Each structure stands twice: as structure tokens, then as C-alpha cells.
Structure 1
């Protein structure tokens, strides 16, 4: 028996015979051509474009979920992107190579920008760019051999790489579970397997190299484990685990419509972090009382061209309308650093401390003002809030507020309706902003603490550097004291404060954050129900006592140990910490 640990991407338990799938089509064949062969290769490419579009459109007319539909539409948009098409055609003509090699080369250059980042969310988007090239390469080759459209028995699919295109095309009635060697929860593949309700484990490392066709495999998409050739004892244990999981799921979902309040009546609003409009229906079903962070930069990643004002407006409007009357906080473009977007000329030796987020926006007002106009236009359709990232001091805040007022005046002149009372806030993720929180609080309507960067900058540790990853500690006394100070400064100036970093998604942190005085926690949707259950099980007085106690401790090791024991004593039956 072999056990592979990975990322739990889609909950559930599945048992069956393995079907091993290795992705071979990703490698294009390189062939040089003569000058008189250019026209023929261009024609091959254009024919492949039409074929690939037709394949996507065929999938798009089926009875599919909203999330699946949006992924297909994104891929269709990429296939119609004039810049992408022009680059491939120019590559064929300039380098005298065949069409499939040109497609692969141009796409590889685009993907390289994303794969160099430390942000797992962005790295996973590279898979989707590759998927579009796969449609094209297969259409050029005329093979499509990697498709699994006709399966005559139930299987557990064990693969090294799986593309969204393959998920759409495969016979999903016979795929009971999926194990992938790579991937992450933010990828389109992960979104799709959840939409298709297929238990899935990602990032198993090398299961596909060990498993053979016909092997018995159990996929546990709840705990993130794959069992190959399990013995009888393990099979019985997993059957019991499945029954407990079902009971717990029922218990959690019963809380979707309940308020997030402590046992003594203190409210802590629970909101969701999203990056695409396709996630809205799911978070509403889980009882999120709003969106605390909409990462607008993902709009800039789905195409080689910058999204137009109209495109941005339509997306913002859709999200705001869908969530009304609950609020939607949209963060303005947060690119640079570990978020690389093609075509913007951001390539620095030290990007984490460089030209990023609001610094980029203030120097590229042509891009920034378009986004502000789109946001203001969408503000009349619900409760939209605008949030600026990586503000380091009052000078930057004054600059963006001044620009926002200028755009408002433009809208008034052009008789474009917008909410004149739209709320504006800033993220607190730079130590200088934390130390000046009392000054910044007088100029905005709310704070949102971005702990991912606040931890990184406070401790001076690159969170993408494996050599010093152990130093990246949310429970570092300096981090907790900063959070406490920010909350106090916000409340003294009568504005609410939210926390939207990964700490909010960690059940281990939930009681502590409530005790530190957080008004809101914004998190990944997978954590909403569990955090709500935890907060409804403790009193605010207990939470404050916990926070006060750990604030007096002198090391992250002591604090982490104490919080783990405190939480295990009370929540061992519902937390996996």
C-alpha cells in the first residue's frame, strides 16, 4: 500500500480502479520551413483557431455551471485576442517555423511571466494559458488523442497534468475521483472539479508514476490523501471517516443562515475573498455577509490586452448586483511584486519592494483612471466599496484620493451616475502604514489588514524563499502587536477594521483575531462555515482573555504552542490543526 498526501481540492471519498493518464501533447514538434511555406503554416494556424473555437462553443452550449461557463468564455476570449494571434503569426513568419511550434513558443513566453512569481494563485493561472495553446496544438496536429470522451467503466483518474479542456471533454459520469501530481486550489481545474462534484486531490507529487492501470485507488478529497492498493483495515477506516465527514458537513451547512456572533452576542462579520465573478453564488450559499476582497488584478491576467472600462464595469456591476444589499469591497489593481502581468514592463531585481500596487497605479494613471471610472459607474448597482492596496503613508493616500475626486468630477461633467457616498478604504500591509494608522484613519471609511504582506514586511522575510520560510510566522509578537495597534487606531477614529489575509482563513487564528477586536474577517469560501461554527462556540470575553494573554508572551513558538493547545481543548472535534 502507498499513501500520497496532497491538497484537498474537492471534498468527498471515491474508490475504484485506476486509469493512469500522462500528458504528452504539451510538447509541440519543432519544424523549420522555407519562406514559401509561410502561407501554408499561417493557414494551418487560422484553421486551428476556428476548430478550437468551435470545440469550446460546443462545450459552452451544454448544461454547465456558471463557473464552468465563465472559464470557457475566458478561453474563447483568449483565442480571439488579436495581440495573441498577431504574435503567433509574426513568430511563424519571422522565425520560419511551423504553426504548432509558434503557438507553443509564444504561449511559453507568456506563461514564464506567471511561473516566475511566488504567488501560487498566479502560478496556477499559467496552466490555463497552456490549456488554450493545447486546444490549438491539438487542432493543428489533428490528433486529440489525449481526450477521454468515451469511458466504458468507472475509474479513478490518476494523472500528471490535467487541463480544463480535458475535464470538459471527458466522460465525467465514469470518473469517480481524480488524483493529480501538481496543481493548487486556485486553478481552473480545481474550480471545475468542485463544480462537477468529483472528489479530487492535487499536488500528490508523483502518484501517476507509481500507480498502474487497474490498481485499486481511494481518493479522499476532504483530507487530501490518495491510497494506492489499500489493505482491508484502511478501507474500513476510510468508510468510517466518510460517514463522520457527511455528519460534519450537514452540521456545518446548517449554520449557513445563522449570524456570526459569539455566545455573549458580539458580532464578527464573515466575508469572502474572491478573484472571479463566478465565485459569488457559492459564497452566498455559505452565508457570507459580503465580499471583503475582490482581487481586481485577475481581470488583467485573463487577456493579453488590458481590460477596457466597459469590460471592467460589467464585471464589477455583476458582482455588486449579485451581492446586493451586502457590501462588495473591490481592491484596485494590485500588480507588481509577485503578481506579474504581461505587457506592463514590470521586471525588477527586487520586485517585492519595487514598482507595485498603488505605486504602479499612480505612475500609470491612464490605466488607473479607467478602473476608477468603471468602479464608480458600478457603484450605483449596490453597495460597492473601493480599497487601495499598499498605501505606505499619507502622501500616497492623498494622491489616490485626489485622483478619485478628479474622476468623480469627470463623471459629473459627463452626466455619468455614481454613488457620491461610495466608501473608500485602505489596506494596512506596510509597517509604516501600521505606525501611521491614526493619521490614515482620519481620511478613510475603513481599514483592511493584509496580513500576507504585513507579516512579510514586519519580519523582513520573503514568504516565497524556502530557505527562510520558517521565519514567516503569523503569531510573531511584532505581528500581533501591530494588528492590535491598527485595530485600536481604527476604533478611536470610529471606522471598522477587517482582516483579509490568510490568517482569516485559518481556524486556528479565528478566536484570537476576534479577541484582538476585528470587526470583520474576510477569507476563502472553504473556511467560512468552520470559522462561523468556532466563533459561535466561544464568548467574546474568552476571546479577549486569549488575546490579552498571548500579547504578553515573548516568542512566536510560545504563542503558537499555547494557541494550539487552547484551541484543541475546545475544538478538537471540528478543527484539523
Structure 2
């Protein structure tokens, strides 16, 4: 037990390399029993369909009991561990009132019992048990080893279960359909289509499984890659021959030998002959060899694992080069990636992209915001999705509920097609509102603006009757370049926006990079980017970037006079003073160049708790305040909005967020200045009711949500909205606020535009 960490690592590595759930569990029971020197180790998994613990693997009990013995979820000692959600350590198991005897297992011979729950995302997935004949209490070290082991294995078991399910096979090999994976809603809507996996280059871990028909062609492809790598290695050896000692040069010979058919090559070709494509066969063989070397005690041999990895990467890069033939995008493509990026969205022809799935990220990630603007159903944070096995599979993406279904049955497809039809009918119905004003039944007027960034947003926004732009994300043109755009280039881009919406106002946010918004040519590497160098902090440190941008905005507005400028990530009065000084300087320079441009209104984005408590001072210095509820919620609740693990803690209806909004609204009202909300909260019809009641003067949202918000606000009285706000402010829980609000609106007959409860 001394070398606990390396034993743990070894077991987890072996389990990770297992082909399926049952072999993963067999490795666990075998290795844990060995490491703990006990007589029995067993794994019971909770079958969610039957709510029973099933004996899935054992070393020490009768093997014939596997798949036969099962217990109710609160039955026996195993059920007791699951109910308590903590370890149970007994000297004499049979004496415990919860002990349940199964003749099939032969466990009456074993007295001592230690069971620990296997937990994944707060759910009990199963129980890991060790037993021994002699009566004794397992000691603290043994207990903590088993607890650590189960914590390490929970994710692995969840992944193996999901992998089986995704191939359409249940635990016992039965065919299953409609396998559901929970994620986080990214962009609303439903998509039915075929998965296309997008991969990062030369990363063996990211290689998916793919079946091939023409085995000989695939072997030929692999052999060509080997030859290309051989030539590379020889070139490298020649280049370095004068600088290296003979024994160091011998390493290159080792590489060349590894490539021989008698070594790795033979195993890879065997994998291809079994129907796996060359990249997948390469991944399997390299993984197996690396795992073998990494667990060796000899440091020299451990180092060889790095050589094998390097060789694997070289071969993979060569195979990917050969496979560069364009990805084929089916008519209804659902793009799946470990981490979706804005550039990936651009690779799929627009008319073929119907849905997006990202393993990482959350509903507030930048790419989710872009997806909402483009109107593409999206789910984010599908952390348990074995996405590498999904290429070419039929999927249903439910962006409303945040769910992905694999192997959908005809019945499920029918259900979702009906939903899509209803959604379409609703959208067509709402289009009739385009030219009507947004005002409540008792005449309270609320202008609805849009958030834009992409050129495509312009037409979509005007189609839906937007009355202005509450947030133009100027970083989007910066993100699609490979250098900072010049003043002239920026001027042309901004002029396009200002002209398209003229005479309506266009609020341009100054460059907001950092956090999850990166520029490839201006990398910001930080341990905690969301609390780091971002927004106004970057541009004040680089006045040359800020001044060029402000001058471009001012010049673009000549003769149109509909520009408003907004400063992001403000956390102090000093930052506003400094920014205003630079804006006035740029204004003077532009006038000196002969441009007739009045000084535009300038506003501050309230996204940081410090700005909430300084709202009274800030509003005196500027012309308006605009609340960015995405970041404000993140910072108030200390929840990273891109982290799917804590996505359920991120909620804009949290009482602290509502109280913060009330403080900002009061400050604006006292100063007689307008308050707008340009975060995602404004686009949620139920939240819009609360924002209007709080005294918010303008709501700005993605064009997709505008018709729904307008419809709901036109169906409700301002007095009713205020009554709902008073109720909401009395609740102490975000989910209670949301369900109270939804229930009340449904009772008024206004449920059809509400987003699903999460």
C-alpha cells in the first residue's frame, strides 16, 4: 500500500485502455483485489431502468453470479452504501441488520466488508466492495485507497457505459435506441441530422473509430505514411549526425525498427484487417504500448513511452495529410467537437449545418452566443459524450432542453419533427408582429434592440423589426483576421453597421478580448483569464489600439449620427475617466482631420460586482448604463460560465442577480439616465417581464429571440409585470423564481413562447 499513487495511476491507465464496460470492470476487480491483498473485490452498478444494483464483475465470489444477482436500490449492504452515499466498513457483515445473503455468490464465507459508493456528477452509479474471511475492520489507509479508487473510476465507468450505449448495445448486449446524453442548452431549437466529428490536428487521443470497407486500400495508405515518416527520421538523423554521439544516434535506428512490420507495423495492420481505419488502428496500438511502458519501474523504459508517443504523432500527422481530402458534409450536418470554435462553424457550408454539439463549454460560451445569433440548435458541455465514436451516426440535438440522442427510433424522430413543425408555425405567426411597437396592454413602451457581431445578423435583425443595436461586438471582425484590422478597414466595417440600421441607434462596444475571446495574433496566456487582463483593461494598456478603434467609429458615423459607444468590463471610476479622456482626444483628432462628427453618447457596461456598487457614481459620468447579465451573473455567483460541471449553479434569476439589477435601475432612475440590458437574460421572454418591471428602458437580445419577447410583452399589463417582480424578489432560490414566473405566465395563457425550465 506504500506506493498507493503509482498503483492508482496504473489501474486507471489500464481501465482507460479497456475496450468496453465489462473488460473495464474485470480489470478493476482484479487489480483492486491484488493491490489491497483482499480475498474479494466486486463491482455492483445501479441500472437506472430497473433501479436495482446488478453484480457486474467479481474476483473472489462465484463468477456465475455475475449478471444474475441483483438488489433493490435500498436493499442489502450494497443498497445501504448507496443510500448513505459514504463508505460502510464492517468487521462482521452478516451481523449487520441490512445484510442480505445470496446463495449464488458464496459470500457467507467472508466476514469483513468495505463498500464505497461510485459517484459521478452527484449521482450514485454503483458500489465498489472488498471482502475478507477474517473478522477485522479495514484500516484508514485501505478505506481511503478504495474511496480514491472509486472517485478516479467513476468517470471511466460512466464513459465506458456511454460508449456501449452509443453503439446501440446495453449492458447485456441488448440493442438499445434513443440513448440520451445530458448537456447544457447552447442555442434553442431542434436538429435531426448526421454527426461529423471535427478534430484537432495530430492528437492521438482525439482520433475517432471509423469502419472501412476497402481494407487493402487502407493498408496501402498506412504503408505510404510509414515510408514518409521513415524518410523524415532518416533526414533528421543525417542533419544531427555531426552533433550527436553514436549511442544517441542509435535512437533513430530504434525508431526505424519500430516502424518495421515485425514490430508496431504488424499490430497496426492487424487492426486495419479487423475493419478499423488506419488512424484508429494506430491509436489503439500506440496507446497499448505507451500504457505498458509508463507503468514500468525502470525510468529508462518509462522514457521510451515518450518515444512511442512521438512516433505515433508523426505517423498520425502523415495519415491526416493523406486524409486531407475535404471532409464530406452531409445535407443535414451536426458538427461535433471536443471544443467548438468560431472558425469551425465557418468550415461547414451554411446550408448544410443544422446543429452543433460541443463536449466542453457552456450556454454562455462565445461560440454558443454565435450559434444563437445564427439560429443553429446547439448543446454545450456534453462532458459524458463519447464523441470520438460518433462519426456518421444519426443524432437528435435538443437545444431547448440541452440533450443529445443517439440511435433515435422512428417514434422519437416523429416526436421531434412535430416539435419542429410547431416551432416553425409559431415563428411564422410571430413574424406578423414585425412592424408593431413593443408595448404592454396598458401602454408601457419598451424598445427592443439587437445584439450583433456577424454580417449575417444585420438582415436577420431588420427582418424581425429591431429598433436599434444595443450591443455590436466589435471583436468579431478582429477575430476573423490574422492581424489587427487597420483604421480604414475598421471604418468600413462600422459604417456598414451604422448605415444598415440608420436612423436607429447602434451601440458599439469597444474591443472586448480576454476571458474566452482570443485573438490568435494577440495571445493572452493567464491562469485565470476571467479575472485577468480583459475588456477595458487591455485597451487602456494599449491606447494605440483603443484610439484607432474610436477614430474609426467616429469617422464611420459621419452624416449618420447614430453611434453610441460602450465600455466593457469597467470596475472603477478611474477607468471611465481615462477612457473618456481618450475618446475626447480621438474626437478632437477626427474633427481636426475635417470630419463633422458630434460627440456620441458614451455608456458603461455593468458586468462586475464593483460596478454595481458604484452605479450611482458611474451613471453621473456617462450617458447610459447597460447591464451584461452573462458576466455579471458569473462574477456575482463565482461560477465559470464555460464550465459544464457548475452550469446548474449559473442562473440569472438568482436572488443576488435580481437585487443587483434593482440597485442599477434605482441609480439610473435617480440620475434620469436610461438603463438597458444587453445580456442573454433580455432575450428570455419570462426574464424580460421582470426586467421591464424593474424599470429597464431598453432590452437588447439576439434577433432570434426578439419576436418571442415582443409577443409576450404585448400580451401583459405593466402592473401585472410589477406584481410578478414583487413575488420574484420574495423568493430565495433561482429555480423557484423561474418556476413561479413560468407557472403564473402559463396561467395567464402566455406559455407558448417560454423557454423550457432547466
- Give the TM-score, by structure 2 length: 0.54
The alpha-carbon deviation at position 414 of structure 1 amounts to 2.1
Report the Cα distance in structure 2 between the residues aligned to 1:320 and 1:427, rounded to whole angstroms: 20
What displacement does 1:568 show?
Answer: 3.5
Partner in structure 2 of residue 497 of structure 1? 675
Q: Aligned to 1:148, which of 328, 337, 350? A: 328
Deviation per CA, 1:262-282: give whole Å up to 9, x if none. 111111111111222331111
1:541 CA displacement = 0.7
The match for 1:442 among 616, 620, 630 is: 620
Cα distance, 1:481 vs structure 2: 1.7
- Structure 1 match to 2:564: 385
Offset from partner CA, 1:4-48 (integer Å, 9 cap, x none): 567676857668xx6x6555794498746859999xxxxxxxxxx
Q: Which of 578, 584, 589 is 1:405 aligned to?
A: 584
**How is 1:197-208 mapped onto 2 (pairs within 5 angstroms)?**
206=385
Contact 2:197/2:388 (8 A) holds in 1? no
1:240-260 Cα distance to aligned partner (Å, 9 max, x none):
434423321221212222211
Preserved contact between residue 189 and residue 400 of structure 2 (Cα < 8 Å): yes
Counterpart Cα distance in 1 of 2:645 and 2:192: 37
Classify 1:431/1:192 alpha carbon distance in 2 versus 1 (closer, same or farther; 3 Å): closer
Match of 1:364 in 2: 542
Aligned to 2:553: 375
The answer to whether the 8 Å contact 2:571/2:611 transfers is: yes
How far, CA to CA, are the matches of 1:558 and 1:158 in structure 2? 34
- Identify if the C-alpha distance between structure 1 residues 37 and 440 changes in structure 2 by more than 3 Å, giving closer, same or farther: farther
3-state secondary structure, aligned to 1:349: coil
- Distance in 1 between residues matched to 2:385 and 2:456, nearest whole Å: 31
Distance in 1 between residues matched to 2:723 and 2:583, nearest whole Å: 42
Tell me, in whole angstroms, the C-alpha distance in 2 between the residues paired with 1:446 and 1:560: 29
Q: How far apart in 2 are the matches of 1:534 and 1:229?
A: 37
Distance 1:166 1:412, change over 3 A: closer
2-structure distance, mates of 1:482, 1:289: 27
Partner SS, residue 326 of structure 1: coil
CA distance in 1 between partners of 2:732 and 2:334 (Å):
47
**Is the 1:390–1:428 contact (alpha carbons within 8 Å) kept by the matching residues of 2?**
yes
CA distance in 1 between counterparts of 2:565 and 2:325 reads 47
- Shift in CA distance, 23/466, structure 1 to aligned 2, threshold 3 Å: closer
2:522 matches 1:341: no
Paired residues in the alignment total 464
Q: Identify if the C-alpha distance between structure 1 residues 192 and 359 changes in structure 2 by more than 3 Å, giving closer, same or farther.
A: closer
- 1:277 matches 2:458: no
Q: Which residue pairs with 1:289 in the alignment?
A: 467
Q: How does 1:296-311 map to 2 (within 5 A)?
A: 296-311=474-489
1:545: which partner in 2?
A: 723
Instruction: Indicate conservation of the 8 Å contact 1:369/1:407, yes or no.
Output: yes
Distance apart, 1:353 and its partner CA = 2.8
Q: CA deviation at 1:559?
A: 3.0
Looking at structure 1, the residues matched to 499 and 434 of structure 2 have their Cα atoms a distance apart, in angstroms, of 21
SS class of match (2:557): helix
Q: 1:42-87: per-residue Cα shift (whole Å, max 9, x none)?
A: xxxxxxxxxxxxxxxxxxxxxxxxxxxxxxxxxxxxxxxxxxxxxx
Residue 419 of structure 2 is matched in structure 1 by 241
Assess if the C-alpha contact under 8 Å between 2:450 and 2:471 holds in 1: yes
SS in 2 for 1:510: helix
Runs of 5+ consecutive residues of structure 1 not aligned to the other structure: 39-136
Alignment of 1:428-467 (within 5 A): 428-465=606-643
Q: Would the aligned equivalents of 2:368 and 2:378 in 1 still touch at CA under 8 Å?
A: no
Q: Which residue of structure 2 aligns with residue 396 of structure 1? A: 575
SS at 1:397 equivalent: helix
Shift of 1:304: 2.9
Name 2:256's counterpart in structure 1.
Answer: none
Structure 1 residues 543 and 194, CA, compared in 2 at 3 Å: closer, same or farther?
closer
Could you tell me whether the CA contact under 8 Å between 1:181 and 1:207 is conserved in 2? no
Structure 2, gaps ≥5 residues long: 1-176, 204-224, 240-316
The answer to whether the aligner puts 1:265 opposite 2:443 as a matched pair is yes
Query: Are 1:447 and 1:496, in contact at CA under 8 Å, matched by a contact in 2?
Result: yes
Tell me the SS of whatever aligns to 1:335: coil
Structure 2 residue corresponding to 1:253, chosen from 415, 426, 431: 431
Question: Which structure has the greater CA radius of gyration?
Answer: 2
| CA displacement, residues 546-569 of structure 1 (integer Å, 9 cap, x when unaligned) | 112322344445434422332333
Instruction: Indicate conservation of the 8 Å contact 1:317/1:378, yes or no.
Output: yes
Query: Cα 1:33–1:359, aligned 2, differ >3 Å: closer, same or farther?
Result: farther
Classify 1:147/1:506 alpha carbon distance in 2 versus 1 (closer, same or farther; 3 Å).
same
CA distance in 1, matches of 2:623, 2:198: 50
Answer whether contact 2:366 2:517 (CA < 8 A) is retained: no
Q: CA deviation at 1:320?
A: 0.5
Cα shift readout 1:166-224 (whole Å, capped 9, x = no counterpart): 633x9x6xx696675669998899979998x9x866667758767797x8776778877
Query: Residue 8 and residue 223 in structure 1: after superposition, are their counterparts in 2 closer, same or farther (change >3 A)?
Result: farther
Equivalent pair of 2:379/2:397 in contact (CA under 8 Å) = no
Could you say if the C-alpha distance between residues 361 and 165 of structure 1 is closer, same or farther in structure 2, counting changes exceeding 3 Å? closer
Q: Deviations over 1:492-534 (max 9, x none)?
A: 2221110011211222311111111111111122211111111
State how far apart, in whole Å, the 1-side matches of 2:622 and 2:237 are.
63
Give the equivalent residue in structure 2 for 1:2: 178
Equivalents in 2 of 1:251, 1:515: separation in Å? Answer: 26
Return the alpha-carbon distance in structure 1 between the equivalents of residues 395 and 530 of structure 2. Answer: 43
Deviation of 1:346 after TM superposition, in Å, equals: 3.1
Q: Give 1:229 deviation, angstroms.
A: 5.4
The residue aligned with 1:78 is: none
Distance in 1 separating the partners of 2:396 and 2:648: 33
SS of the residue corresponding to residue 620 of structure 2 reads: coil
- Contact 1:498 1:518 survives alignment (8 Å): yes
